[in-house]
Amino acid sequence: VKRVYAFGKDAEGNNVTEGNTNMKAILGGKGANLAEMANIGLPVPPGFTISCQTCMEYANADNTWPEGALDTIHEYRLDLEKRIGKKIGDAEDPLLVSVRSGAPMSMPGMMDTVLNLGLNDQSIHGLIKQTENPRFAWDSYRRFIQMFSNVVMGLDGDLFENAITAMKNARGVASDTDLTAEDLQQLVVEFKQIFSENVSGVEYPSLVVDGVVAFPQDPMVQLKLAIEAVFGSWNNPRATLYRKKNKISDDLGTAVNVQCMVFGNKGNTSATGVAFTRNPANGEKEFYGDYLVNAQGEDVVAGIRNTSPIADLKHVEGLEEAGQQLEEIFVVLENHFRDMCDIEFTIEQGKLYMLQTRVGKRTAAAALHIAIEMEKEGLITKEEAVMRVEPEQLDQLLHPQFDKNAEYDVLARGLNASPGAAVGEAVFSAADAVAAAEAGRKCVLVRWETTPDDLAGMIAAEGILTSHGGKTSHAAVIARGMGAPCVCGVEALKIDAEKKQAAVTGTDVVIKEGDMISLDGTTGIVVLGAVDLVLPELTGDLDTILEWADEFRTLGVRANADNPEDAQLSRDFGAQGIGLCRTEHMFLGDRKQIIQTFILNEDEDIRQKAVDQLFEAQTGDFYGMFKAMDGLPVIVRLLDPPLHEFLESPRALDVEIARLEATGGDKGVIAEKRALMEQIDAMAEANPMLGLRGCRLGIVYPILPVMQVRAIATAAAKLKKEGLDPKPEIMIPLVSVVPELAKLREVAEQTIAEVAAEQGVELNIEIGTMIELPRAAVTADEIATKADFFSFGTNDLTQTTFGFSRDDVEAEFIPQYLKERLLPYNPFATVDPGVAKLVKMGVELGHQGNPNLTCGVCGEHGGDPDSIHTFHNIGLDYVSCSPYRVPLARLAAGQAAI
């Protein structure tokens, strides 16, 4: 097996790159694109990439090296030295390298990287000689020891930061850059001391020299330990959590890139930066990013010093040419990758080097805007534009914003790093954010700057607020990726994380833990107190992409709604009808009393009176629904749940009776309550989900479907007389055998005919059924003879196919099943292949029984992108989902058709 791949040029300037951008599974994203950039002639410092497979083999063999791997690395290292004409560890002119992680899927900042590797007490003098810059050299050495200790040996970074702070205090200077070469040389001594004192000789016997642990002087030892550490970082807790959250497989492994160092910290004509070829927050076509002069590596993202905007670069003395070249490279990269790219670069004494590129992460708004603009520029096709937007991402656009009518005072302003608004209690650590979320309290995570260790807290928080860092800082990048609102770089915030509070400069406000704060990541505003949030209006870009998706899609999209407001909302979002109107939701509130009277009384007169009242109410409900959906189909499902769902809980009654008895309550009242409790108890079912519900209810209590059908027909007749075009359809739930459907169909048809005659209007109301029991699916040919349409209720169909009770299993054992991979995903979220097979069978058999049958899905799965793909492939006519999922479903259906 080939384990190592070269990239970049040889000594003669020939490209000797062995990989390319399509090899991400082997080289990781970073390695594959370093190779690709080298292939298209961009300035990439040479190096080699160790494959992801080697990482997995190493990890799976309990952190031991596969046979021959170290030899191959050794060969490639020698070759690299030849290509550069320098040797690692050389006392005259040393080669320094970075050892960089890079997985097949982008996991920004989750794994480890070591810079300046190869420095030791000899090569430092070579570096001084070559650069004639002792300050730079000592700074590089102290950075290397610091990074190596932290990343490879796992020492606390604060040990070193504290030593730097002590040195600055001793010298009376404010900034790291004010420390002299001698100061830094002294720090190197101190850092090595810290290393010796804190690294365990038992754990690393090979580092023990003369009885004490010493910082490794052999560059080969440094290199091996660094590569092992990068391999190990694949399984560090934050990387593992990130993969779980982003559904990335644990089996991919990370590649390791060993690359020649270039230096952004060699003075004022050197710089380092990160950039995007377009604005990743709103998609605007502009160069976007930050740089720092005389800095290295993570300085920009770490938010340690204040950065400058990338557009300024070409106006800085000594950086003009590199700045100009960078802008040209932005265009080259966009044309090559045909997408917005994210870039890391370093300028060493005026010469530009590209250190990384990948297709850039972006907000949903930016994804839409970029896709549309690139289509207009002719860079991509309309199909590609539709494919460029993640359906799940659209949720972000439907995120809340500050209510425009809300009154509030702006407390502070920062950078609008990730859109959407958040309201919650201020918390000052990731652990507190997690604790608040677990206690069901909404919180905003307030940090100086976030680090990868804060990830769990960032996930738990409603929004993220930082006082440092630019729009490409860790907080900003991660928040955008998660779709969480984020305001960063709020310089007025003086955070004291220890005391869990933040003073706000220029005010006498001190935000304390637990204080409500609001932030708007779209504008960068921070407010003390809770601001009312509203949902945003859809932008023109969303409409455009959805219209394009509509051009491709063959699957219809309807909504599940049971009140006129939701119906109108789904219509505004582009729903082509209502696929499921649940009537049980119309029996709540004051109506509950009426249905209870019906259920609990045997007396026919009292029952009839209750049903008459329900008829009045239902006619009004349907009138509103059909009116809002004028001209579009509205499928009304007849009453479905077990009746005792409408009754008091017998346990609560029992408690109440006990209390009345204990306090000497009225005997008559107690007797009445006891009778009621016994009656309810008598109706209880051992297994209500499989009990008296669905069509079975209508067969036992025919008065109910008659009332509902009459209300549907009456409302439709009324609207027709008003000149509108109502299109109700009647759906009979939980059918398992044809006679059930036949019987209720007859009742419904007869009732519709009666109403039509009474009202003097013609009514054509289709009657269909839900397919939510396996028996119905496998006998769909028979059932279809009595149905105008099928709607697959995939929630119940999943329950009944698996024999899983949804209410029980999701909490009880599905999490364990997922962990042990007994199930690849939750079948209630994404339709299971077995259930999908039943749907497919139902559709095919159904068409045999009735060639004109319309088939849709109305379960939760109708709003899930993966399931939508499945339903498209099965050839369903439509999916129906909750109103807010309608835009997502339109997009996913369009993508499924491309």
Name the site residues for ligand ADP (rule: CB under 6 A).
45, 98, 100-101, 109, 113, 115, 259-262, 272, 297-298, 344, 346, 355-356
In whole angstroms, how close is the CB of 708 to Mg ion at the nearest point? 16
| Residue 45's binding partner out of Mg ion, ligand ADP, none, with CB under 5 to 8 Å set by partner kind | ligand ADP
Query: Distance between alpha carbon 384 and the CA centroid of its chain, in Å?
Result: 22
* Residue whose tokens read 């004051």: 590
| Residue 566's binding partner out of ligand ADP, Mg ion, none, with CB under 5 to 8 Å set by partner kind | none
Comparing CB distances to ligand ADP, the nearer of 272 and 560 is: 272
How many C-beta atoms lie closer than 10 Å to residue 348's C-beta? 20
How far, in Å, are 173, 293, 639, 745, 794 from residue 698 at the CA level?
A: 84, 77, 8, 11, 22
Check if the beta carbon of residue 296 is closer than 8 Å to that of residue 264: yes
| Residue 796's binding partner out of ligand ADP, Mg ion, none, with CB under 5 to 8 Å set by partner kind | Mg ion
In whole angstroms, how close is the CB of 296 to ligand ADP at the nearest point? 6
| Residue 346's binding partner out of Mg ion, ligand ADP, none, with CB under 5 to 8 Å set by partner kind | ligand ADP
In whole angstroms, how close is the CB of 629 to ligand ADP at the nearest point? 50
d(CA 497, CA 507): 19
Computed on alpha carbons and rounded to an integer, the radius of gyration of the chain in Å comes to 33
Q: How many residues does the chain have?
A: 898
d(CA 422, CA 237): 27
d(CA 245, CA 478): 12
Comparing CB distances to ligand ADP, the nearer of 258 and 713 is: 258
d(CA 529, CA 588): 34
User: Is residue 745 within a helix (H) or strand (E), and if so which, with residue range?
Assistant: helix 738-759
Q: Which two tokens stand for residue 214?
A: 């010493």
Comparing CB distances to ligand ADP, the nearer of 232 and 694 is: 232
| Residue 793's binding partner out of Mg ion, ligand ADP, none, with CB under 5 to 8 Å set by partner kind | Mg ion
Query: Distance between alpha carbon 212 and the CA centroid of its chain, in Å?
Result: 48
d(CA 12, CA 84): 10
Number of Cα atoms under 13 Å in the Cβ half of residue 855: 28
In whole angstroms, how close is the CB of 621 to ligand ADP at the nearest point? 56
**β-strand pairing of 421-427 with 516-520:** antiparallel
How far, in Å, are 119, 147, 221 from residue 200 at the CA level?
A: 22, 17, 16
Comparing CB distances to ligand ADP, the nearer of 358 and 693 is: 358
Q: Which amino acid is at 296?
A: Q
Buried-state track 424-454, b at ≥16 Cβ within 10 A, e below 16: bbbbbbbebbbebbeeeebbbbbbbbbbbeb
Comparing CB distances to Mg ion, the nearer of 146 and 356 is: 356
Using the rule CB under 5 A, is 860 a contact of Mg ion?
no
Q: Is 582 annotated as a binding residue?
A: yes
Using the rule CB under 5 A, is 827 a contact of Mg ion?
no
Q: Which of helix, strand or coil describes residue 353? A: strand
In whole angstroms, how close is the CB of 452 to ligand ADP at the nearest point? 9
**Which residue stretch of 166-174, 245-253, 511-519, 795-803 sits at the interface with Mg ion (rule: CB under 5 A)?**
795-803
User: Is residue 201 within a helix (H) or strand (E), and if so which, with residue range?
Assistant: none
Using the rule CB under 5 A, is 449 a contact of Mg ion?
no
The residue from 695, 858, 861, 869 that is catalytic is 858
| 359: phi then psi, degrees, rounded to nearest 5 | -65, 125
d(CA 799, CA 539): 39
| Residue 261's binding partner out of Mg ion, ligand ADP, none, with CB under 5 to 8 Å set by partner kind | ligand ADP
Check if the beta carbon of residue 33 is closer than 8 Å to that of residue 343: no
User: Is residue 472 within a helix (H) or strand (E), and if so which, with residue range?
Assistant: none
Which residues, at least 6 apart from 692, have a Cβ–Cβ distance to it below 8 Å? 642, 643, 685, 700
In whole angstroms, how close is the CB of 300 to ligand ADP at the nearest point? 7
The residue from 369, 399, 474, 869 that is catalytic is 474
Q: Is 637 annotated as a binding residue?
A: yes
In whole angstroms, how close is the CB of 47 to Mg ion at the nearest point? 14
Using the rule CB under 5 A, is 793 a contact of Mg ion?
yes
| Residue 556's binding partner out of Mg ion, ligand ADP, none, with CB under 5 to 8 Å set by partner kind | none
Check if the beta carbon of residue 361 is closer than 8 Å to that of residue 477: yes
Using the rule CB under 5 A, is 356 a contact of Mg ion?
yes
- x/- letters, 164..203, toward Mg ion (CB under 5 A): ----------------------------------------
Shortest-Cβ-distance residue relative to Mg ion: 796
**β-strand pairing of 421-427 with 633-637:** unpaired
In whole angstroms, how close is the CB of 103 to ligand ADP at the nearest point? 9
Q: Is 294 annotated as a binding residue?
A: no
Q: Is 183 exposed, middle or buried (0-12, 13-18, 19+ CB in 10 A)?
A: buried
Q: Is 795 annotated as a binding residue?
A: yes
In whole angstroms, how close is the CB of 76 to ligand ADP at the nearest point? 15
Q: Which two tokens stand for residue 750?
A: 């007869």
Q: Is 772 annotated as a binding residue?
A: yes
Comparing CB distances to ligand ADP, the nearer of 44 and 525 is: 44
Q: Which residues ranging from 752 to 791 are in contact with Mg ion (CB under 5 A)?
A: 772
Comparing CB distances to ligand ADP, the nearer of 358 and 745 is: 358
Interface residue with Mg ion among 566, 796, 860, 864 (CB under 5 A) is 796
Comparing CB distances to ligand ADP, the nearer of 298 and 866 is: 298
Buried-state track 775-788, b at ≥16 Cβ within 10 A, e below 16: ebbebbbbbbebbb
d(CA 457, CA 455): 5
In whole angstroms, how close is the CB of 214 to ligand ADP at the nearest point? 26
Using the rule CB under 5 A, is 299 a contact of Mg ion?
no
Q: Which two tokens stand for residue 723?
A: 């000149």
Interface with Mg ion (CB under 5 A), residue total: 5
d(CA 750, CA 744): 10
d(CA 851, CA 844): 10
| Residue 259's binding partner out of ligand ADP, Mg ion, none, with CB under 5 to 8 Å set by partner kind | ligand ADP
| 530: phi then psi, degrees, rounded to nearest 5 | -100, 120
d(CA 217, CA 207): 9
| Residue 98's binding partner out of Mg ion, ligand ADP, none, with CB under 5 to 8 Å set by partner kind | ligand ADP
Comparing CB distances to Mg ion, the nearer of 118 and 793 is: 793
Comparing CB distances to ligand ADP, the nearer of 261 and 771 is: 261
In the residue annotation, 443 being an active-site residue is answered as no
**Which residue stretch of 201-209, 338-346, 835-843, 850-858 sits at the interface with Mg ion (rule: CB under 5 A)?**
338-346
| 847: phi then psi, degrees, rounded to nearest 5 | -70, -25
In whole angstroms, how close is the CB of 381 to ligand ADP at the nearest point? 32
Comparing CB distances to ligand ADP, the nearer of 160 and 646 is: 160
DSSP 567: H
Q: Is 553 annotated as a binding residue?
A: no
Q: Is 877 annotated as a binding residue?
A: no
DSSP 9: B
Q: Which amino acid is at 306?
A: N
In the residue annotation, 858 being an active-site residue is answered as yes
Strand order in the sheet with 288-293: 308-309, 288-293, 271-276, 341-348, 351-359
Annotated binding site for Mg(2+): 772, 796
Annotated binding site: 582, 637, 772, 793-796
Annotated binding site for substrate: 582, 637, 772, 793-796
Please identify every residue annotated as catalytic: 474, 858
Binding site for Mg ion (CB under 5 A): 344, 356, 772, 793, 796
